Chain A
């Protein structure tokens, strides 16, 4: 029997995945240390908690995207999905006064958009980036039309608890992140569905020939991505206390950057959700650091773009070295 090429037979006790995660931890610690040296206020508990809360918002958008990318797809519509779900939920809460209608609307709208993405890719055989790129503009357009230039603000306190509340001294968004991260981890590593997602991402034809119902699994992946975008929209809405059609657009690049920085390869078939958590934290620290250094917010798109480019080039270099050493 031959040894599979991907099997790691080095005598190290650390698996490559764990080593990569550890490397990201060290990177985060180094940047955090440098920022603390520049401004001791960085390391205050309130700033750290605030940053983790921001990172958790970014993670929620990126979590479903991670699943889709592991499965060999792509979802460029997560930001626009968040926008539309948040706007619809805000309207539902405002008109009914009952936050639970908002929750239902956001989850429903997010999931539906994900379902439509999966349907387009399966039925029209469109490349994922094209279908979800189209969905980006469609969802964005509906949001602009629906809001008609207005901003909906002033959510009830019971709803704002999702974004601003604390539980056991820890902000609620961080708890939500922990739950979503745990759920995604179990899904990826402890279920057949998760193994099939990795299989599809690594080699879709092989997965299809091995009897994986590729279309059904793909549909579910996009639905999950829509679902997490819907959940993220609720936390975002509760945190901002306002909905307007521009909120989700600046999130797409950071979300993709978080997935890539987290070590999930765009080519599918590898990566994990904990990496995305670290990627989101890393990205938030960078932005936070820029603010500390008084860099204007207009630089943010440039920084996000640069992070994406550096991350894919690093991914390429690492994967080439790894395949070269075997």
Chain B
């Protein structure tokens, strides 16, 4: 019946250009093989399966776990939003939210400012340009744990090279308590994150800078633009799409940072440097409470989604990308 209908449908369309009359009577399989939509479906299937297996399923499972009292080795039962209700009244959780926001905002702003400045410098014709660019990338290339261990030594309460140098210069009487004081520890971890994240911003923005046509600068210069105006009205607008992408990634990486904190402070002192990611790990894996840990991770989603949506809508504004005003 279906075959008859298909034939009828094919007949109703009539022969297509370049087709013989017999082609109208191809089998369903052969016709599907020539159907672009059907072929597209199969081409997309591996990517879809990949995304479902490694993105949708873990995300869904994480959200599901946050609604259960699952622990290590026990699947648990559905308890609704009890984990979230508990977290709403948990000082350590809110401290971790505050820490995460502070860490992300301060580190991202500094990474952008320093990264942009470095990119502009590296875009100039300077001696040993390629070598210097490679050097700038080093902090990004070094594994996070290794750089964290280096900072662990730099921030050591007794053997810090900074304390040693300042003490040697007679500027301080006793060692700086980098990681033992809550606020010192916050700034110290933020600094380490900035050090590590700047190359990513700088090199990506540098790549963006190199796509800006020199003719735009020549035209602006002929029009009498000074250096600031060149940056403000040529460089910055042309770089905006790249900035949107790079800062979205930078914010996401910073917000979800784990290794640096875990290696440097484990969230201490007195939870002063716990980020949502490290607290989630501590509660879920070390503490064995998968449900509560998953709830903390799930609580990160709205923040991450906001960052992504900000970038998405930013990228949709085509005129804004081109340096023009919005309608």
Partners in one complex: no
B residues sitting closer than 8 Å to A (CB atoms) are: none
